[in-house]
């Protein structure tokens, strides 16, 4: 890769580029993958929310369920996991690896706590007698929370990859952190939909 100043100097300046190493992805590849992934997930959930809002307009077989109060706590937990991941990302950028590692571990613990709280919410609904096929409202609840939890598990896999790498590329850390923020925003929207349109 030639410098744009090569014509103004007596020597050609060669800059290192990831394209020279076939095993290293070119810069920006993870960003493209992140945007494509989040875009498709967002479109999918928007479609589900539109179906939910349309079905809620019909009272036929629609029996509103009482949302478990523990969902408020799980919402706070996933918010704080996003906060700790953002703090970890900034520490990594500054070269503070020990602090970064500790914050990533805290983020992992908070995420596992979020999944446990979501499972507890399911158990609470089971005790209410609200099952997946009980009525459309409970069906949408399980679909929303189940699919979101699946994407959180996928995020945990990416988080484990970042944590296992001794020195991951900063772009990778950034994209996984942004995905975490996306998961929080996605959950906040789903929870608001379920709470405001019973």
Q: What is the mean pLDDT of residues 1-16?
A: 48
Residue 15 belongs to a domain:
no
Average pLDDT, the chain: 82
Confidence band (pLDDT; 50, 70, 90) for 10? Answer: low
70 within 8 A of 124, measured Cβ to Cβ: yes
pLDDT of residue 91: 93
Q: Is the per-residue pLDDT at 19 higher than 50?
A: no
Q: What is the mean pLDDT of residues 12-26?
A: 50
What is the residue range of 64's domain?
29-196
Residue 140 belongs to a domain:
yes
In CATH, what number is assigned to the domain containing residue 171?
A: 1.20.120.80
Residue 17 belongs to a domain:
no
Residue 183 belongs to a domain:
yes
Over residues 79-90, the pLDDT tens digits come to 999 999 999 999
As a whole number of angstroms, the distance between CA 173 and CA 145 comes to 26
pLDDT of residue 3: 43
Q: Is the per-residue pLDDT at 14 higher than 60?
A: no
Give percent above pLDDT 70 in the chain: 81
Q: What is the mean pLDDT of residues 57-86?
A: 87
pLDDT of residue 95: 87
Nearest Cα to Cα of residue 106 among 75, 85, 79, 78:
85
Q: Is the Cα torsion angle 180, 185, 188, 190 positive or negative in sign?
A: negative
Residue 132 belongs to a domain:
yes
Residue 99 belongs to a domain:
yes
Q: What is the mean pLDDT of residues 115-142?
A: 82
At 163 the three-state DSSP class reads: helix
Residue 50 belongs to a domain:
yes
Instruction: Please give the tally of structural domains in the chain.
Output: 1
Residue 10 belongs to a domain:
no
């Amino acid at each position: 890769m030639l410098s744009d100043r090569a014509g103004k100097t007596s020597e050609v300046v060669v800059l290192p580029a990831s394209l020279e190493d076939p095993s290293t992805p070119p810069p920006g590849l993870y960003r493209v993958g992140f945007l494509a992934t989040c875009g498709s997930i967002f479109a999918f959930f928007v479609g589900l929310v539109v179906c939910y809002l349309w079905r809620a307009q019909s009272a036929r077989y629609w029996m509103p369920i009482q949302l478990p109060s523990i969902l408020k706590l799980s919402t706070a937990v996933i918010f704080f996991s996003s906060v700790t991941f953002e703090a970890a990302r900034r520490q990594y950028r500054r070269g503070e690896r020990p602090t970064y590692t500790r914050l990533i571990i805290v983020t992992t613990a908070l995420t596992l706590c979020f999944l446990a709280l979501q499972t507890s919410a399911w158990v609470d609904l089971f005790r209410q007698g609200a099952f997946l096929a009980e009525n459309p409202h409970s069906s949408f609840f399980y679909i929303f929370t189940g699919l979101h939890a699946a994407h959180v598990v996928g995020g945990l896999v990416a988080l484990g990859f970042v944590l296992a790498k001794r020195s991951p590329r900063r772009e990778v850390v950034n994209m996984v952190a942004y995905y975490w923020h996306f998961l929080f925003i996605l959950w906040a929207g789903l929870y608001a939909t379920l709470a405001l349109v019973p």
